[in-house]
Amino acid sequence: MTNDKPKLTPRQQQIFELIQRAIAKTGAPPTRAEIAAELGFRSANAAEEHLQALARKGVIELVGGTSRGIRLKAGTLRTVNETRKRGDAEHSGLPFNLPLPGLEQLVLPLIGRVAAGHPILAQEHIEQSYSVEPSLFAKRPDYLLRVRGMSMKDAGILDGDLLAVARAREARNGQIVVARLGDEVTVKRFQRTPEGITLLPENPDFEPILVSPDHPEFELEGLAVGLIRNQLLI
């Protein structure tokens, strides 16, 4: 146990826990506007001020150029782990960042390009494997997927990132999923309506993908449970 945990005000702790819960529930951090609405602030600027304070204390990292550019820092993981061990699992949303040294490691295959008609975890799709700390993730992942393109930029998911994915065949509205459409594997936000499934980008330059209920080539491959900047895995 460390003795140099950052000391947060009650409001900062509230925002920190809100970020954790959002990541655990949807796979992405909240926007400033969502934080403001949840906590009753008059504007997103008030949320921004608290986020800046959390960043100065080293609890989070703020990433520019995206509305969801909030990342929990590796230094907060030990505190999160201790909280979870006390039985507070519901409020221990798990951060997307680097592993702490000396803790149990999880070996995950990295999936590159996926061939049509082959399982996503087929040996020919595996580029290499990485060892990561399991508590980085909202749910234990089965593999890492290399993100291609910027369609999820506003969710903080960028080209070249490694998305941690837990295999799943069902998803709730609002969750970030990995879906297969024929020979293409895509990362999008899931939305089910009576008309079918819509795969929503988090970038206004991209169009939603509409999937009819009887689409023969659609398959849900898994749920996003974490994110690692590729350049940090060296």
pLDDT tens digit string along 188-229?
999 998 888 999 999 999 999 998 766 667 889 999 998 887
Confidence (pLDDT) at 198: 94
Taking the CA atoms of residue 137, residue 140, residue 143 and residue 147 in that order, the dihedral angle to the nearest 10 degrees is -30
The owner of tokens 């069902």 is 170
Instruction: Write phi, then psi, for 190 (nearest 5 degrees).
Output: -85, 135
Question: Can you list the alpha helix ranges (DSSP code H) found in the chain?
Answer: 10-26, 32-39, 44-56, 77-85
Residue 96 binned pLDDT confidence (cut-offs 50, 70, 90): very low
Which residue in the list 57, 135, 151, 153 is annotated as catalytic? 151
Q: What pLDDT does residue 69 have?
A: 79
Q: What is the β-pairing status of strands 106-111 and 143-146?
A: parallel
d(CA 178, CA 91): 25
What are the tens digits of pLDDT across the range 46-83?
Answer: 889 999 999 888 888 887 766 677 877 654 443 433 43
pLDDT score at 84: 38
Average pLDDT score over the chain: 76
Give me the mean pLDDT over the 32-48 stretch. 89
Instruction: Provide CATH 2.10.109.10 ranges for the chain.
Output: 106-232
Answer yes or no: 67 catalytic. no
Pairs from 196-205 (Cβ < 8 Å, separation ≥ 24): 201/151, 201/152, 202/28, 202/68, 202/151, 202/152, 202/153, 202/154, 202/155, 202/157, 203/150, 203/151, 203/152, 203/153, 203/154, 205/150
Q: Is the pLDDT of residue 42 over 90?
A: no
Exposure string over 183-209, b if 16+ CB within 10 A, otherwise e: eebbbbbbbeeeeebbbbbbeeeeeeb
**Residue range 83-107: mean pLDDT, rounded:** 43
What pLDDT score was predicted for residue 68?
A: 77
CATH superfamily of this structure's domain 106-232: Umud Fragment, subunit A (2.10.109.10)
Residue 151 annotated among the catalytic residues of the structure: yes
Per-residue confidence at 87, pLDDT binned at 50, 70, 90? very low
Closest CA to 233 of 162, 134, 181, 140: 162
pLDDT band of 168, cuts 50, 70, 90: very high
Question: Which residue ranges does the chain devote to CATH 1.10.10.10?
Answer: 10-91
**Pick from 85-99, 132-146, 215-229: least confident:** 85-99
Question: Could you say which of 2.60.120.680, 1.10.10.10, 1.10.150.170, 3.30.70.580 is the CATH number of the domain covering 10-91?
Answer: 1.10.10.10
**pLDDT reading at 88 higher than 50:** no
